[in-house]
Structure 1
């Protein structure tokens, strides 16, 4: 009986010592810092050759974070974020530029966007006839 009580006490103390700090940290809410509250805007953009993302292998993928500041592995994050802010994060609202002429060669390029824009889930896939058409429609957003 004494050994059972000793084992129960040892087990309870060990569990409290190991798990106690973990549960306190998990339940505590981080204190908000003034001026640091913002809706997240972080995206992963991919480009690949093919008719759809399901059948093509991405050739390149970059990250783009637009809040609180423009950053990521995208080569022009400031310009890309500005364009996305201009259309409220709606990638389908980006329009073709007038100053680009493209051939009618069919060499399909598929682009995808997955992530969060101002706290809302974003998922986009579009297939373009060729790279020139892709670059004309999306200017700096998919130029990577």
Structure 2
């Protein structure tokens, strides 16, 4: 348990927020590619997916490693647009707003999904669950004036 608390404390620091957006996604992409899609390095801290969305402006496929919170029966996940507590919304969240149909790589399996931005009470309930799951999200929210976007992605039929 001490290891988890230490990771949570480190991931809440400004230094981590400054370095992590550049280092963690690059490492995740490399490990994902080298293991044939079976692993992400960041899953040592949190569950994760590789999101392949369609670029909002370019229309091109965009691959982004993301932490996630699996829900219920394993056919839906929450994605948090925390951007490590940086001011702007992450690009992948703009992509999902423009093109909600996407694909995730989850435990080595490609899963077609549909994304939906959470609002109101639904967002509030999800945010509470996320803070119980990974408390550093509260630190990220405290650093920015924007409301962090939350998406529920659900396996497409």
TM-score over 0.5 (shorter chain)? no
TM-score (norm 2): 0.25
The structure having more radius of gyration, on CA atoms, is 1
Using the size of structure 1 for normalisation, the TM-score is: 0.27
Bigger share in helix = 2
